[in-house]
Amino acid sequence: MNRLTRISAILTQLQSKKIVKAKEIAERFEISLRTVYRDIKTLQDAGIPIGSENGVGYFMVDGFSLPPMMLTEEEANALIVSEKLILNQGDQSLIRDFSSLLIKIKAILKSVQKDDVTKLSDRLEPSVKRETLKSNWLSTVQKAITKTNVIEIQYNSISKQEQTVREIEPLAIYFTERAWVLVAFCRLRNDLREFRLDRISRVVVSNKSFDFKQDFKLKEYFKNLVKPS
């Protein structure tokens, strides 16, 4: 990748997150931190309003944006692969959200690219067509996590074969081979619990909020995995 292409890609990366660490840029492009600093300086000298905070990272000044970037052929193909995987993961809310996003992205493709992605879509399927467990709560739960909203769920317990209503603080989500699983602090049990989304029959997002648990990390949680409720 030549330097001009890399600098353009760095600018796109800076717009993708609120804060981007120099280390993230260095690892993505396999360059040194010194090269990252030089590329950022080049963008700043060109009039791009990039701010920085020592020990934190770089950020785009609020109010600045660039026109949408055109996708490469490889990026467009990656979207089609993602679509096939998402169609086979079981949660209907995610399928709806991604389909809406994909329509918007396809709208900016060139005519030749549109023909190519259609051809690829007809010739690509996941290696295994497995029967996934259906759910429809992923979109709601994801938003509750980011907004730190307490949610009330009606849950059909796996172990006790009983239905309970619980207030929970949603923390994280992961996907097994067949189902989406929500990790949350259960106010009924006063402890961390797991809830399979396919066993939730009702979700109500409350106006209550909970303290964002900054120290909660899914990777660390997996080391002491809690059994499903």
The residues facing 183 across adjacent strands are 172, 194
Q: 3-60 with 138-223: one CATH topology?
A: no
The pLDDT value given to residue 180: 92
Q: State the 10-residue block means of pLDDT for the chain, 229 residues long.
A: 83 83 91 93 89 88 69 82 86 89 76 81 72 88 92 86 90 89 92 93 93 82 68
Q: Please answer whether residues 85 and 94 qualify as being in contact, where contact means their C-beta atoms are separated by less than 8 angstroms.
A: no
| Spatial CA neighbour of 170 closest among 201, 200, 143, 188 | 143
Domain residue extents for the chain: 3-60, 73-121, 138-223
Amino acid symbol at 87: L
For the chain, what's the residue count? 229
Packing angle between helix 3-16 and helix 33-45, nearest 10 degrees? Answer: 80
The pLDDT value given to residue 22: 93
The pLDDT value given to residue 68: 60
User: pTM to 2 decimals?
Assistant: 0.65
Structural domain 3-60, CATH architecture: Orthogonal Bundle (1.10)
Structural domain 138-223, CATH architecture: Roll (2.30)
The pLDDT value given to residue 211: 86
Q: What is the DSSP letter of 198?
A: G
Q: What are phi and psi of 75, to 5 degrees?
A: -65, -40
Distance, CA of 21 to CA of 52 (rounded, Å)? 9
Query: Strands, E, within 94-213: which ranges?
Result: 149-156, 163-175, 180-186, 191-196, 200-209
